[in-house]
Chain A
């Protein structure tokens, strides 16, 4: 019962790290059974954060709490070494010990490996992760998915007070990844520990995250609900980081409060987008407020061979196909929108079947159709801040 209480404590802290020229500042708080996703491009500082929490690298300053214990505090001079921090740490390469069999790998972190209780724990985890048949095998005799299951069982065996997952499923195929995510969810329901997951896969962040923290160049840009952060991101830089394919700088031409929409125009482009509450209130200086950045996800766009004039979609744009690229599992189509000068590009994602049935080829004229509600307003950063690229 006492152990149970320890594991059901939030993990929180902050660190400042310096690795060569790279500076990192992060702060986190994760409730038991919750998954905090650290999301960002490679080199953003996600793994460094995990390593700092694990005590595998020493921060410049900071405070780290795991299982209700302070394991690091720069002001107090507290520093618990890695092996006293009660962690589970999972890496992309699994790092199963090659000279030990599956069962020996799982029991590696248990205090008395040959005791009856240790054997029971190994059995329990092998059952849960479907490893029963494999206990006498060596790691090289296992598939990638099985190896990651063993690594997960090994990390969970000593009942860690926190789980650190560093792109744990990145080298697995998508179906295996989905299965393992589900298993991880089941696992968390059984033993609710705080989890920090590093990924740059949007789908994974949405599937596993209870909250998402976007990190870039050692700084946290935003923390929040996965859908709020990754679905319709607020900041221009975040929009680019989380992969919003289409961003347009437009000017508001007309507001239609009765429809909750407004019309925005740009380079030969007219879009119906949701009315922004901030703009309706009419606060701030005039004129400046009329400039907006509109984002549309490539997967929210419907392509048609003819103008769908009789449809409810508020936005219909004509353009010429200038590129068709494979983007598994589907295809990415780039349209050059019809315009007199300096035309805008529009990226659309469609399935392979749609591509075949429509017979899309470069040079073809197509219509791009999407609802006003598929468009969202992006808060561009203030010009005083350094430009994102």
Chain B
């Protein structure tokens, strides 16, 4: 026979009062607070890449925005996008870079407005271990150590402009070269490649006028008008910036010389596309800014994940004429749909 003896601990008398509501109320309050704070927390939870373009005044950068955003959506990043309203507002661009550094964004893409002034802020970002991509045109900082260049191939752009002029003029004629900008290395490379190609391949084409770039469309139109009034035998105008191209197109329209002076522009702008469609200008050699934006984001992602990345990437430009303007790859770089949806 087994005998069993079991003892259990006594239980306390249960209590019941209104205070059982307290944790529930606290939970509701916390849930309410969470609901209010959720959007900013959710936004902050997505790593952000700051893309500081040259200016918001040119559609060229909308396609770069789209390219970067498309890649960012794929890679799980958010793109912060902003730029100065004027392409010569270096101070504002530096402010925006400093803001991105202060926010500790995970990457910084900058399309520099100036060759020298951005060295210090970009070096500061690199020193803070923020991956940096310089997009479009260069600055004098050696690549590597967290810095990558994704640049328009300005050498090719200059050569393409020269060959287009040579072809249109059948190897002989007077040309004006507008939009020279000593502050931009890319512009200088374009100009030099253009002139070298003309000398070597079309020696009978001479540059009769050279003019520096204008900060505004109106000033560019005024300068172009002066040049056209001075040179009645001008056969072509090559403009190295979109602002000067717009000014030249306006001057040609006003002086009714769109039929006898070819206009070849560099860098895209929607108003110039109107000129191409209407046959008032010959062509635009466009930066593939969509690809620049996309490759810039990919470089940031690679730097962030410590993958190997090419130190300098050169993106070839595209020639836009009346014949190819509706081609999909051309439309992609003319699009102002910055949302970057696939």
Q: Do these two chains really belong together in a complex?
A: no
